[in-house]
Amino acid sequence: MTDETLNIRQMCDAFGVTPRTLRFYEAKELLFPTRVGTRRLFTRRDRARLTLIVRGKRFGFSLEDIRQLLDMYEPDGSNAAQLNRTFQLAEARLGQMETQRHEMDVAIAELRVELDKTATMLAGFRRAAE
């Protein structure tokens, strides 16, 4: 399995981040590496979480936003009230993401139009230069 733990260097290489970043995320309680003496060992769970963190960041979410999102992936199944809050939050977040997704479609379409215009102008230049 992919159940081997990673040290900080391997983790950095795997995700393209710096050690400082991983320590920072641990301090912010986004990751929970175990310890062997003083050294950190990153588990399968940490890798899954870091994947979501990195992705979330590309969508413009803050680390605090992401921390809440992460909880939705490991809900507290023992507490109905807590679970319900998580559910509400997740629904709201999903709505936001779908809105954002739609806006992205629009933005892409618009940029493509501009790109076509530019291409046409360039074609004009090339014709003018024989």
Partner DNA sequence: CGTTACAGTTACGTTAACGTCAAGTGCGCT
Partner DNA sequence: AGCGCACTTGACGTTAACGTAACTGTAACG
60 binds a second copy (CB under 8 A): yes
CB of 89 closer than 8 Å to CB of 68: yes
37 binds DNA (CB under 7 A): yes
Q: Which does 125 bind (CB under 5 to 8 A by kind): DNA, a second copy, none?
A: a second copy
Report which DSSP code applies to 77: T
Q: Which does 18 bind (CB under 5 to 8 A by kind): a second copy, DNA, none?
A: DNA
Q: Return the structure tokens found at 5.
A: 């733990």
Close Cβ partners of 32 (under 8 Å, ≥ 6 residues apart): 26, 43, 45, 46
Q: Which stretch binds DNA (CB under 7 A): 1-9, 69-77, 90-98, 120-128?
A: 1-9
How far apart, in whole angstroms, are the C-alpha atoms of residue 35 and residue 108? Answer: 45
Close Cβ partners of 125 (under 8 Å, ≥ 6 residues apart): none
Min. distance of Cβ 2 from a second copy in angstroms?
18
Interface positions with a second copy (CB under 8 A): 55-61, 69, 72-73, 75, 77, 80, 83-84, 86-87, 90-91, 93-94, 97-98, 100-101, 103-105, 107-108, 111-112, 114-115, 117-119, 121-122, 125
